[in-house]
Chain A
Amino acid sequence: MSKDIYVVAEQRDGHVVKVAFELLGEATKLAKDLDQKVVGILIGDDIKDKAQSLIDAGADEVVVVEDPMLHEYVTEPYAKALTQVIKECDPEILLFGATAIGRDLAPRVASRIHTGLTADCTKLDIDVWKANEEDPGKKLLFMTRPAFGGNIMATILCKTHRPQMATVRPGVMKRLAPDHSRTGEIREIKVDFKPEDMNIVVRQVVKETHKKVDITEAKRLVSGGRGIGSPEFYATLQELADEISGEISSSRANVDAGWIERDRQVGQTGKTVRPELYMACGISGAIQHVAGMEGSDYVIAINKNDTAAVFDVADLGVVGDVKVIVPKLLDAVRKYKADNEKANA
């Protein structure tokens, strides 16, 4: 019988990515409701030494598949490895980060196993599926996700196929503070790779430290308006954006003034954005601007003028000078991150 909650812990260059720890934190919560275990899955080349970090973050056990073929991510070898793990372990639930790798691997494997997959979930719950006649006490994973560009939320069930699979948006679930005293079994699964499993040739791997951006894809935006005073202040906004894994954007006035490139303009004549955080710095909030950002999940506005229209659409409005507040905020974010790193070290 299927059991336990498995988390595919994505790694790149031997480093486990953040969303994996968030998923382990969430899985710990779900596992309690199901009275089952949390199992981490590590797939890669020479990766076993990372298993303990998954246990520290909430995994009760870790399954490891190692092979030189798994050095860089290529769909087929990873799909083969994961399919074998699923066949040997028979998970009840299988979670992935909704990353460029997770959203490539998960559908491929779901198809191969013939089970359901729910994309890009923002909420997971264990609940009783009351309509089930055969077993009225049956507990299922209730997977909730945005659809239609975030205007509608849908809760999805995978009633009979197993495992119940979901990809989960990074940054939504909360990781647990690492507990280095935890212990758990680390088990290796050997996969019999054939040369033909490598059905794609990786000619080149190019790491990009700063790639060109599409602000409509950014999850966090730090946006500057007239109130920032000078084009040079965008550098400060960029530093803040870097610290929170975001991008900078702009009101129209600053684009017209030549302070910043046009492809960063938000609004009716610019781009429509729906980030999880929109930080409006010194933006008055003209209706044309608001039309391009009102779909944001959370809006923080900083403006000197307490009657600025931007405050009407802000979840948190702060009356004050951006040129004073933003540099202090940048320091505070850096300090917070440094303290956190120390605590997690």
Chain B
Amino acid sequence: MKEKYDATVTVVCMGPPQADVALREALAMGCDEAILLSSREFGGSDTWATAKIIATALDEIGYDLVITGRQAIDGDTAQVGPQIAETLGIPQVSYAEEIYEIEDGNVIVKRQYEDRYHVLEVKMPCLLTALTELAEPRYMHAGGIVDAYNKEIKVITYENLKDKLNIEDIGLKGSPTNVYKSFTKEAKGAGTLLTDLSPDEAVSAIMEKLEERHII
């Protein structure tokens, strides 16, 4: 899109200082600018508070189109994208599978559901959450990698945003949800092995488990 529409691509990440590795990778793949949102005050934020922080920073940075992943690989919530859009007051299209084009300030996008898809026309500024199918990552070239390490990664902290961001709205304190406890999944007991069953008996044994586990 950057090449087609002469755009600037800025990659924004909220995380600890070591998240700069991912940002440099993005620069090496062709992004123009990288910004890391990092501050002790941001720690412990749930999706509501995270969205608040990112939205406040985006307001500062400026944008026409915001693209987020569908969900992160740790929390798997898929909530931060839509919540950024709501906090910014812009339309969202989640589960975007393909961006067809941009015409007259509208993004034409394919939005996937379980049993159908919609082709949607949405006015910018707007936010999309992307399925993996949306695009293939580009390869990093040697030159790009060298450039990526020469470029500066801009860091935005709470101090930079504090005029617009209430400390009561972020971190553990500003998060409506809290983790009460976390635990590893209980280990599976040894399985059952059924030998010497007639085919019909075998089918009954399987049916019983399918029913018990709400598969059918």
Interface residues of A (CB under 8 A from B): 12, 72-73, 75-76, 79, 99-101, 103-104, 106-108, 110-112, 114-120, 142, 146-161, 171-172, 174, 199-208, 220, 243-244, 276-277, 298-300, 302, 306, 311, 313-321, 324-325, 328-329, 332-333, 336-337
Q: Which residue of A lies closest to B208 (CB)?
A: A316
Which residues on B sit within 8 Å (CB–CB) of A158? 176-178
Which residues between 160 and 216 of chain B lie within 8 Å of chain A, taking CB atoms?
Answer: 175-185, 188, 191-197, 199-200, 202-207, 209-211, 213-216
18 of the cross-chain contacts (CB-CB < 8 Å) are A99-B114, A107-B78, A107-B83, A154-B182, A155-B181, A200-B121, A201-B120, A203-B118, A204-B118, A277-B210, A302-B206, A316-B206, A318-B197, A318-B202, A320-B197, A325-B202, A325-B203, A329-B207
> How many pairs of A and B residues are in contact by the CB < 8 Å rule?
230
Q: Please state if B188 and A207 are interface contacts (CB–CB under 8 Å).
A: no
CA distance A300 to B215 in the complex (A): 12
Complexed CA–CA distance, A56 and B73 (Å): 39
Q: Are B193 and A116 in touch, CB under 8 angstroms?
A: no
Residue contact B48 to A110, C-beta cutoff 8 Å: yes
- Any A CB within 8 A of the CB of B93: yes
Chain-A contact segment, one of B10-18, B20-28, B84-92 = B84-92
How far, in Å, is A200 (CB) from chain B's closest CB? Answer: 5
Known: A299-B191, A316-B192. A203 touches B120 (CB 8 A): yes
- Closest Cβ neighbor of B80 among chain A residues: A107
CB pair A203 B176 closer than 8 Å: no
In the complex, chain A residues whose CB is within 8 Å of the CB of B192: 315-317
B113 in contact (CB, < 8 A): yes
**For the complex, what is the distance from the CA of A277 to the CA of B118, rounded to whole Å?**
30
Q: Contacts A119-B76, A155-B180, A204-B118 known; A108 to B86 CB distance under 8 Å?
A: yes
Residues of A within 8 A of B118 (CB): 72, 202-206
Instruction: Give the residue name and chain of the A residue nearest to B114 (CB).
Output: A100
Determine the main DSSP class of B at the interface with A: mixed
Knowing A103-B94, A155-B180 are in contact, say whether A117-B79 is a contact too (CB < 8 A).
yes
Residues of A within 8 A of B47 (CB): 107, 117, 119
> Is there contact, CB below 8 Å, between B46 and A116?
yes
Point out the residue from B48, B83, B205, B213 that lies within 8 Å of A277, measured CB to CB. Answer: B213
Main SS of chain A's interface residues? mixed
Q: Is the CB of B191 within 8 A of A315?
A: yes
CA distance A119 to B177 in the complex (A): 11
A279, closest chain B residue (CB): B206
A-B residue pairs, 7 tightest by C-beta:
A116-B176, A116-B177, A111-B86, A119-B77, A204-B119, A107-B79, A201-B121
Closest to A172 in B: B214
Most buried by B among A142, A146, A319: A319
Shortest Cβ distance from B204 into A: residue: A332
Let me know if B83 and A111 touch, CB within 8 A.
yes
What is the CB-to-nearest-CB distance from B129 to chain A, in angstroms, rounded to a whole number?
A: 9
| Given known A-B contacts A207-B116, A277-B215, A153 and B185 have beta carbons under 8 A apart | yes
Least CB distance, B99 to chain A, in whole angstroms: 14
B83 nearest CB neighbor, chain A only: A111
A residues near B210, Cβ cutoff 8 Å:
244, 277, 333
Decide: A244 near B216, CB < 8 A? Known: A311-B193, A317-B191: yes
Would you call A147 and B78 a contact (CB within 8 A)?
A: no
B80 to chain A, nearest CB (A): 8
Docked-complex contact B203 and A156, CB < 8 angstroms: no
Q: In the complex, A149→B81 CA distance in Å? A: 19
User: Which chain A residue shows the least CB distance to B183?
Assistant: A153
Q: Which residues of A contact B91 (CB under 8 A)?
A: 75-76, 199-200
Contact A276/B213 with A153-B184, A202-B118, A318-B206 known, Cβ cut-off 8 Å: yes
Q: Are B121 and A244 in contact (CB-based, < 8 A)? A: no
Interface residue B136 (Cβ < 8 Å from any Cβ of A) = no
Q: Which residues of B contact A276 (CB under 8 A)?
A: 213, 215
Chain A residues closer than 8 Å to B206, beta-carbon distance: 300, 302, 316, 318, 325, 329
Cα of A329 to Cα of B185 in the assembled complex, Å: 30
